[in-house]
Amino acid sequence: MNPKRRDIAIEELLGPLNDVERKNAPQRLFFAGHLDLMEAGPRVSIIGSRKASKQGLNNARGLAAWLVRRRAVVVSGLADGIDAAAHKGAIEAGGRTIAVIGTPLDKVYPAKNRQLQTRLMNAHLVLSQFPPGAVVHPRNFPIRNRTMALLSHATIIVEAADDSGALHQGWEALRLGRPLFVLERLMNDPKLSWPAKFVHYGALILQPTHLEAMSEYLPEHGRADLVPVDH
């Protein structure tokens, strides 16, 4: 991969940040692709486990397609599992997607997503707060998740274990006062303790048969017609 790489100040991208938003915000983001996707519609993160179940993968693709039909832009982290399914679901539905990655733009993790990352860099948008050539540390990924919460108008956790990195984004979304949705089936999983905690602190339960309820939590700003691209 050798895309043209550029960077932008976070407040140039999002506008002035308040003190709560600024706490975990990076100063700059490096990007490859179409930066205008940040204004192409409400940005909604679909996140979850790398080792996802078939049901979880299907849920991620279905949610991405539903959001695309409502002119939203699907955001995820380009990890294996739920993230990759969300990006692919958005593309398959003819929509747009943004990846916020935990590596510099000149690296790929996991390696199996190289083709997907290249595709997003060329036809969609990939963002990273880590400069080209930087060493990749495990802590990059929870840091990335907090940044993704900042960049998204809302977050949906599709599937996650109690130790999943996706929960970092969930807590950050709640801290920022952004809508956080938890799939209803997770509330009924006796192996999980985090869903009840999140709901206690303000997360919303998302029922697959009542997705329209999510629309009222998405901003009207950015509901622009999407520019067709070569998928």
Residue owning tokens 């299907």: 58
Decide if 132 is inside a domain: yes
For residue 158, is it within any domain? yes
Q: Is residue 82 part of a domain?
A: yes
Per the structure, the complete domain to which residue 156 belongs is given by 33-212
Q: Note the pLDDT of residue 4.
A: 57
- Residue 146: the pLDDT is 97
CATH number where 178 lies: 3.40.50.450
Is 229 a member of any domain?
A: no
Interatomic CA distance for residues 179 and 168, integer angstroms: 15
User: What's the pLDDT tens digit per position in 127-176?
Assistant: 999 999 999 999 999 999 999 999 999 999 999 999 999 999 999 999 99
Interatomic CA distance for residues 21 and 212, integer angstroms: 28
- Which residues does 26 contact at the CB level (< 8 Å), separation at least 6? 10, 129, 147
Question: Residue 217 is encoded by which pair of tokens?
Answer: 């939590």
Q: How many structural domains comprise the chain?
A: 1
Is residue 28 in a domain? no
pLDDT of the residue at 225: 36
Residue 96: Cβ within 10 Å count: 28
Low-confidence ranges of the chain (pLDDT < 70): 1-5, 221-231
- According to the model, what pLDDT value does residue 229 have? 36
